[in-house]
Structure 1
Amino acid sequence: MPLSYSYSNFDEGDKELSNFAKALALPVRIAIIRIIMENNNAVNREALWEIPFNIETINKHVAELKNLGILKAQGFKGHITYSIDQSLFEHMAYRFAELFKHTRIFSTN
């Protein structure tokens, strides 16, 4: 009998961490995050257009990161500033650090 791997069987924290990792799993999204971080956590849309993708692709990924709660937008049409949700990133960074901390056991064997 094949094993059933139901997504609902996983810990909520593991699902949250997995979803965050999937949201950042594309190089264009990492580039968006990096540019925002390099600019003191505040950039306008045009600053992101230096990424070597077409504008529509960048805008699509910015919108998706915003819908996922990773990016925040302030301002009004034509004058929007994007920033990273710092509390979410700090929480996820901590969770990843905790996960990877356990890899040290591999180096002792």
Structure 2
Amino acid sequence: MGITKTEHFTTTQNELAILAKAMGHPARIAIIEYLLKTESCICGDIVNELPLAQPTVSQHLKELKNAGLIKGNIEGNAICYCLNEEGFNKLKGFFETITSYLTTKECC
């Protein structure tokens, strides 16, 4: 496998790519949707919502957290997760730029 050469891209481009990659799995979308419905939750609650094993859910949570899309706080023996506003604001800005472009330009 080749080297990605991320140093040839801007910090913003690399950050957006990490965010997009983290969202590139249906289980992660399901986790985000679940977190949208709840104030916060314990990992076990998420496991009960998905047709996946606990270690698999934990790996998806780790990917979302590493990308900056969710935050987790340890409360006793459990970790409570919630959405990370900062990560989603970056995505929002990117998609607002695209939406603005699409509403003002005509394509072939």
Q: TM-score, normalised by structure 1?
A: 0.78
Aligned to 2:42: 44
Task: Please list every run of at least 4 consecutive aligned residues from structure 1 whose deviation after the TM superposition is greater than 4 angstroms.
Answer: none
How far apart are 1:85 and its partner, in Å?
0.9
CA distance in 2, matches of 1:22, 1:55: 21
Which 10-residue stretch deviates more, 67-76 or 79-88?
67-76
Mark the runs of 5 or more structure 2 residues left unpaired by the alignment.
none
Q: TM-score, normalised by structure 2?
A: 0.78
Aligned to 1:8: 7
Cα gap change, 1:67 to 1:8, in 2 (>3 Å): closer
Aligned to 1:55: 54
User: Percent identity over the alignment?
Assistant: 25
What is the SS of the residue equivalent to 1:25? coil
Cα distance per residue 1:11-66 (max 9 Å; x no partner): 322222122101110001111111011113x1111221111212211111112222
Give the CA RMSD over aligned residues: 2.1
Which is higher, the Rg of structure 1 or of structure 2? Answer: 1
Q: Higher helix proportion, which one?
A: 2
Cα distance per residue 1:56-94 (max 9 Å; x no partner): 111111122223332211133523210111122123212
